[in-house]
Protein backbone atom coordinates (compact mmCIF):
# COMPACT_ATOMS: atom_id res chain seq x y z
CA UNK A 1 0.00 0.00 0.00
CA UNK A 2 1.35 3.44 -0.90
CA UNK A 3 2.66 5.67 1.85
CA UNK A 4 3.28 9.39 1.95
CA UNK A 5 5.95 11.56 3.44
CA UNK A 6 4.50 14.92 4.43
CA UNK A 7 7.04 17.69 4.95
CA UNK A 8 6.35 21.06 6.56
CA UNK A 9 9.17 23.56 6.56
CA UNK A 10 9.60 27.01 8.03
CA UNK A 11 12.79 28.21 6.35
CA UNK A 12 15.08 30.97 7.57
CA UNK A 13 18.08 30.35 5.27
CA UNK A 14 16.94 29.48 1.76
CA UNK A 15 20.48 29.25 0.37
CA UNK A 16 21.41 26.58 2.90
CA UNK A 17 18.18 24.68 2.20
CA UNK A 18 18.68 24.82 -1.59
CA UNK A 19 21.50 22.23 -1.66
CA UNK A 20 19.34 19.84 0.38
CA UNK A 21 16.28 20.36 -1.82
CA UNK A 22 18.23 19.84 -5.05
CA UNK A 23 19.82 16.56 -3.91
CA UNK A 24 17.09 14.78 -1.92
CA UNK A 25 15.16 13.58 -5.03
CA UNK A 26 18.13 11.47 -6.16
CA UNK A 27 18.21 9.59 -2.84
CA UNK A 28 14.42 9.36 -2.78
CA UNK A 29 14.34 7.66 -6.20
CA UNK A 30 16.29 4.69 -4.79
CA UNK A 31 13.23 3.92 -2.66
CA UNK A 32 10.56 4.63 -5.27
CA UNK A 33 9.77 8.05 -3.82
CA UNK A 34 8.47 10.92 -5.93
CA UNK A 35 7.06 14.38 -5.23
CA UNK A 36 3.32 14.72 -5.74
CA UNK A 37 2.60 18.13 -4.14
CA UNK A 38 4.62 21.19 -3.15
CA UNK A 39 3.28 24.60 -2.32
CA UNK A 40 4.91 27.50 -0.49
CA UNK A 41 1.62 29.40 -0.87
CA UNK A 42 -0.64 26.81 0.78
CA UNK A 43 -4.06 27.80 2.09
CA UNK A 44 -4.67 26.98 5.75
CA UNK A 45 -8.33 26.04 6.09
CA UNK A 46 -8.32 25.33 9.81
CA UNK A 47 -5.92 25.77 12.72
CA UNK A 48 -2.93 27.97 13.40
CA UNK A 49 -0.54 26.74 10.73
CA UNK A 50 2.69 28.73 10.46
CA UNK A 51 3.71 30.18 7.10
CA UNK A 52 6.07 27.98 5.15
CA UNK A 53 6.44 25.21 2.63
CA UNK A 54 4.37 22.02 2.54
CA UNK A 55 5.39 19.11 0.32
CA UNK A 56 4.04 15.57 -0.10
CA UNK A 57 6.02 12.64 -1.50
CA UNK A 58 4.63 9.24 -2.50
CA UNK A 59 6.47 5.96 -1.78
CA UNK A 60 5.53 2.33 -2.49
CA UNK A 61 4.98 1.67 1.24
CA UNK A 62 5.85 2.93 4.72
CA UNK A 63 8.97 0.74 4.90
CA UNK A 64 10.31 2.58 1.84
CA UNK A 65 9.75 5.94 3.56
CA UNK A 66 11.65 4.78 6.65
CA UNK A 67 14.44 3.25 4.52
CA UNK A 68 14.80 6.55 2.63
CA UNK A 69 14.97 8.52 5.87
CA UNK A 70 17.61 6.18 7.32
CA UNK A 71 19.74 6.08 4.15
CA UNK A 72 23.26 7.35 4.94
CA UNK A 73 23.18 9.65 1.89
CA UNK A 74 19.96 11.25 3.18
CA UNK A 75 21.47 11.67 6.63
CA UNK A 76 24.38 13.62 5.10
CA UNK A 77 21.89 15.88 3.29
CA UNK A 78 19.85 16.28 6.47
CA UNK A 79 22.98 17.47 8.29
CA UNK A 80 23.72 19.94 5.47
CA UNK A 81 20.40 21.73 5.99
CA UNK A 82 20.97 22.22 9.72
CA UNK A 83 20.38 25.87 10.54
CA UNK A 84 18.22 26.45 7.44
CA UNK A 85 15.00 26.44 9.46
CA UNK A 86 12.60 23.99 11.05
CA UNK A 87 11.45 20.88 9.18
CA UNK A 88 8.76 18.42 10.29
CA UNK A 89 8.46 15.07 8.48
CA UNK A 90 5.56 12.65 8.95
CA UNK A 91 5.07 9.26 7.26
CA UNK A 92 1.47 8.12 6.72
CA UNK A 93 0.01 5.08 4.99
CA UNK A 94 -2.43 5.43 2.12
CA UNK A 95 -5.97 4.10 2.35
Q: Residue 69 sits in a domain of what CATH number? A: 3.30.70.100
Count structural domains, the chain. Answer: 1
- Residue 45 pLDDT > 90: no
Distance CA 15, CA 38 (A): 18
**For residue 17, what pLDDT is reported?**
93
Q: Give percent of the chain with pLDDT exceeding 90.
A: 80
Q: Which domain holds residue 21?
A: 3-42+51-93
**pLDDT exceeds cutoff 80 at 49:** no
Name the 3-class secondary structure at 25. Answer: helix
pTM equals 0.89
pLDDT at residue 51 above 80? no
Amino acid sequence: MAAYLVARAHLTDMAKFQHYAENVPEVMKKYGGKPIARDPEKITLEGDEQPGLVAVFEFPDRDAVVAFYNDPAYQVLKASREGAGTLHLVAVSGV
